[in-house]
A and B are shown apart, each in its own frame.
Chain A
Amino acid sequence: MGPDHLGSYLAIAAALFTTGVLAVCTRRNAIGVLIGIELMLNAAALQFVAYGRFRAPLGDSIGQAAAVFVIVVAAAEAAVALALLFAVYRTLRDIDLERTRELAA
C-alpha cells in the first residue's frame, strides 16, 4: 500500500465508483444523482491515470489523454443534465425523483 502501488489507486477508484452507484440508486434529489454520476466518472478517470502511470511504458501519455477525455465528457454531461433538470423544474416545480415519476405534466 502507499502512493507507489497501483492497488491503492484502484481501491480509491472502486470506493468512489461504489459511492457513485449508491448515490445514483438511492438519492431522491436529482442533483444528488448527478453528483453520483460525476463520482463514477472521476473513478474511471482516476483508473486511467493510475494504469497509465504504473503499467504503460515511459513517455506514453494515452492514459492521461483518456482521463482528459473523461473530464470533458463529464463536463458536457453535466451541462446537458443540468439543462434537463432545469426544464423538469420549470414544468413540475420539483426535482424530487420520487415525485416526478409521471410522463405527463
Chain B
Amino acid sequence: MIPEWLSSAIVLIPLAAALLAAPLRSAGLAHALAATAMAAATALAVWLAWLIVPTGLSWQGPRLVWLDLGSWALSLGTMVDSQAAIMGVIVCLLATLVLIFNAWYMHDEPLAARFPWQFSFFAFAMLLVVFADNLFLAFVGWELVGLGSYLLIGFWYMKPAVADDPFYQRFKGVRARGVLEHCLSPAHAQLKAFIMNRIGDAGFLLGIGAFLAAGLAAGVRDPLQWSELQRLAAQGMPGSFLGLSGEDLLLLGCLGVFCGAIGKSAQFPLHPWLPDAMQGPTTASSIIHAATMVAAGVYLVARCYPLFPPEALLVVGIIGGFTCLLAATIASVQWDLKATLAYSTVSQLGLMFVGLSAGSEAYGREAGLGHLYAHAMSKCLLFLAAGAVIHAAGGVQDMGRLGGLARRMPLTAIVSLLAVAALIGTPFTTGFFSKDAVLSAALLHAEQRGGWTWLPFALACAGSLLTAFYMVRWWVRIFLGPERQPEITEHAHDPPGWAAAPLVVLALFTLWAPWTVREHGEAVATGHSHAQIAAFSLIGGLIVFAVLTYAPVVRLVSCAGKPRWWQRIFSEHAEQCGFAHGQPSCTVPCGVKTAAAFAPGLLLIPWLLGYVFDSWFAPHGPDPAAAAQYHAMAIAIGLMFTGAATGLIIYWWLPRLGVDTTGFLARHIYPLYNACANLWWIDRAWHALFARGLGEGLGRLSARLDLGDRTRLAALEGAAPWRPRDLASLDGAIDGLGRICARLGAGLAAWHDGRIGAYAALAVGIASLLVIMGVLW
C-alpha cells in the first residue's frame, strides 16, 4: 500500500526546508536544517521507489482541481512511475550529498547562509517537474527550476565581469579564448541562463497549447494529464483544430516540448548558457549538471515519450547527436577545468537525446534515462572533486598551471578517476552499461529504420570517442605529471573527514547503482547477465584496442624513446624522420598518419567482433536486437579504449618523454583547434546577433523613429520626403491621445488631493444620496 501523502511529502519537504532556512543567518544551522530535510526526503523517496519500481506500474497520487472551466479543467496532482520514483531518489540523494559537501566548501564564505534555502528551493522545483501528473504543473515546476538556477548561478552577484577581475586575469590560461570577457560574470551568466531558457520555453508553451487544443478538440475533460494525452495518442488523436489534424497537433506539441528541452538541457543552439553558468559556485554546478536543471529537459521528453511520433524522434536524435559531437570537440581543447566538465555535460545530454530518439521498440526511453541516472552520479562527483581541486589551488582553474595533484589529494584523485571511468564507459562501471545501452538502442533503431536515423548513431559514436579522450586529458592534466606551478598547489589537501563522505558515497554509486542496471536490463536483449556482458566487453575491447593501437603506439615509442628490442623494427623509420637526431617534431604526424590508416578498422573490427559474440555466445540464437546489442557493445568499448589511449599517449606518455604534444597539436591542426577553442564562435554569434544586433539595432531604430523629438523630426523631414506626412499624422494622433490623457488626469486629480475631509465628505454625500434614493423608491 502506498500512502496517499507520500509523493506530495517528498515534493513539499524541500520547500518547507527552503522556507525555514531562508531567515537563518547562521550558515552551519541553515546547512544542517536543509541537509536533514533533504535526507528525510531521500528516505521517503527510497521508500516510494521501493514500493513502485518492482511493480512497474504507475501510481496516481492525490489530485485537486485548480481551475474548473466547466467543459474542461486544470488539476494539480502527482503521478509516479518507475522512472519518476528513481529520478526522485536521485534528486534528493544528490541534493543531500552536495549540501553536506557545501558546508565544508563554503566554510569561509560570508554569504554561505543563503545557499541552503536557494538550493532546497531548486530541489523542490525539480521534484515538482519529476512528480507532476500533467503538463501544466510540470511547466510550473519547470519555470521554478529556471528561477532556482538563476538564484544559484548569480550567487556571487557582486563579482565583476572577468575582464575587470584581476585574479582571473592573472590566472586565466594562456590559451583561454573564445570567452567574451566583458560579459562573463555571475550577473551576466544568470541572465543568460534565464533568457536562453525563455527562448526554449516559448516553444514549450506553444507545445502545451497544441496539446491543449488537441485534447479540447477530442472533448477530453482534463486535457493536459499525461494519462489522458497518452490515451489520446494511442487512439490516433481524434479531432482537429484550426485545420490541423490531431497528428499535426501531436507533432507540434512534441516538438514544442523538445524545444523547451533544448533550452533546459542545453542543446545546440541554446547551449551557451550552461558553460557560462560555471560562474556560480561549483557545488551549485554539480547539482545543475547532474540532477536538477539540465536533467529536466531529458526527463520531460522521456515523460512525454509515448506521445512522440517518429518524425519528432528523428529531430531529437539529430539535434542530440550534433550537440554531442560539437560539445565534445569544444571540451577537448578547453583549459579551464570547469569548462571541460561543462561542455562534457552538454555532450552527454546530447547522447541521452540520441538514446531517447531510438523509439520504444529499441528501448530508447530506458537507454536515455539510464544514461541520465548514471551520468548524474559521475558528473555530480566530478564537480565536487573539481570544487575540492579549486579550493585546494586557491581558486586557480587553469589546467596549464595545475598538475601532479594525485600525491597531495589522493582521495580526490581516486574518486574522480572512478567518475572519469564511469563517464567514458569503462566496463564494470554504471557508465558502461548506460552508454552501451544508448549506442545499442541507436544502432538497433538505425538498423530497423535506416536512412537518416544512422546520423544520430554516427554522431554519438564520434562524441563517445572524444569523451574518452578529453576526460582522460582532464584527469591527467590535473592529477598526474609534474606540479607545474608548485606555489599554487603546495598547500593542496583533500577535503577533511565528513566533507569527503559525499565523494566516497558517489564513487560507490559510479561503480554500481541499482537503477542503471535495471534500466540496462530492460534495454539488453541478449539474455546475458551484466557481469558476463562486462567481461565480454572487456576482452573484446582489449582485442580491439591492441589491434588498433599496437602499430601507432610502437611507432611513436620507437620515435620518442630509447630503442628497446621490440622497437628495432621501427628504428629505420626513426632514422628517416630525424627523430634519432633529436628533432622530435615528427612524432605526432607519424602517429596520426598511422592512426588514420587504421581508422576504417576502428569500425570494422568491432563489427566483426560483434558477430563473433553474436554467433558464439548468444543463448537465444540469432536475433537482430541481440546482434545490435553485441555490435554496439564492441563499438562502445573500442571507442572508449581508443579515445582513452589517445588521451593518455598525448597528455601523459609523450610529455614524459619530453615531447610538447599540446603545442604541436595546436600548431599543426590550427584551424580545427582554433574553431574548437573559440567554441565554434557560437557564443560570439549569439552576442552579435541578439545582444548587439537586435538589442542595439532596435535601440537605434526606436531612436530614429523618436516621434516626440522635434529637431530629429525636422532632420528626418529634410532627409526623406515620404516621412513628414506620415509622421505628422502619427504625431497628431499620438500627441492628441497624450493630451486627452493629461486633461482627464488633471480633471480627476482634483478628486484625489489627499485631504481626508474631502474623502469623508464624498463618502457621506454618496451614502446620503443612496439613502435618499432608497427612501424615495
Contact = CB atoms under 8 A, between A and B. Distances in A.
Interface in A26-79: 26-28, 33
Q: Is the interface of A mostly helix, strand, loop or mixed?
A: loop
B737 interface: no
A27 B758 CA distance: 11
Nearest to B765: A25
Contacts of A26: 757
Interface in A60-105: 97-98, 101-103
A103 B753 CA distance: 11
Nearest to A97: B756
A25 B754 contact: no
A77 B198 CA distance: 51
A13 interface: no
B772 to A, nearest CB: 15
Contact of B764 (A21, A97, A101): A21
Interface string B138-182: 000000000000000000000000000000000000000000000
Interface residues of A, number: 12
Contacts of B764: 21, 24-25
B562 interface: no
- Most chain B CB atoms below 10 A, which of A24, A25, A28, A33: A25
Contacts of A97: 755-757
Contacts of B750: none
A55 B756 CA distance: 37
B760 interface: yes
Given A21-B764, A25-B764, A101 B757 contact: no
B761 interface: yes
A30 B755 CA distance: 11
B760 A101 contact: no
A101 B761 CA distance: 16
B753 to A, nearest CB: 7
A102 B755 CA distance: 9
A102 B756 CA distance: 11
A103 B752 CA distance: 12
Interface string B759-775: 01100100000000000
A25 B753 contact: no
A27 B757 contact: yes
A90 to B, nearest CB: 18
A103 B756 CA distance: 12
Contacts of B755: 97-98, 101
Interface of A: 21, 24-28, 33, 97-98, 101-103
Please name the 10 residue pairs, one residue from A and one from B, whose CB atoms are nearest each other, closest first. Answer: A101-B754, A25-B761, A24-B760, A25-B757, A25-B760, A21-B764, A97-B756, A26-B757, A101-B755, A97-B757
7 contacts: A24-B757, A25-B764, A28-B757, A33-B760, A101-B753, A101-B754, A103-B754
Given A21-B764, A24-B764, 18 more contacts: A21-B760, A24-B760, A25-B757, A25-B758, A25-B760, A25-B761, A25-B764, A26-B757, A27-B757, A33-B756, A33-B757, A97-B756, A97-B757, A98-B755, A101-B753, A101-B755, A102-B754, A103-B754
